[in-house]
Amino acid sequence: MKRIFACNPVIHLNKDEALNYTQQKDVLSAAEKIYESTKNHVIITCGSDGAFFFDAGTKEMGMIPSVKTTVTDTIGAGDSHFGSVIAALKLGKSLKNAVSVGNLVASKLVSKKGSTLTDKEFAELKLEDF
C-alpha cells in the first residue's frame, strides 16, 4: 500500500472499508489517517447517511447528505459515485460539490434495476446546476 499511496491517489471507500483499514472508530478519524498516507482527497461513502469528504487542498471536511430515494438495486452504486466525483472534479467543481454530484447520480442509479442510467435518466439529473 505504501507504493500506491506514494502516488497520492484520491481515495474513495465505503464506511466499513475505511474503518476496517484504518482501525478507527469514526469516519473523521479514518479520513484523517488515510490523508496522512496519501496527501490527497478522501471520500467515504456512508450509505443512506451520505458521504464524508476531506479536501486535501482546503482541509475542508464534512458529511454531504444522501439524496433520499427508494433503493431497488445497489449494483454499481460505488462506481457511479466515484466516477461522478472524478468527472465533476475534472470539470473544475470543488470536492464538496463533486461529492454532491456523486450522491445524486448514485441515488438515481440505486432507484432502478441495473448498473447504468439511460441518457434520458442522466439528463433528468440536471447536473449543470452544481
Instruction: List pLDDT tens digits, range 65-83.
Output: 999 999 999 999 999 999 9
Q: Which CATH class is domain 2-129?
A: alpha beta
Residue 129 pLDDT > 80, yes or no? no
pTM metric for this prediction: 0.93
SS3 119: helix
Residue whose cell numbers read 450509505:
47
Closest CA to 46 of 22, 59, 62: 62
Please provide residue 63's backbone torsions phi and psi, each rounded to the nearest 5 degrees: -100, 125
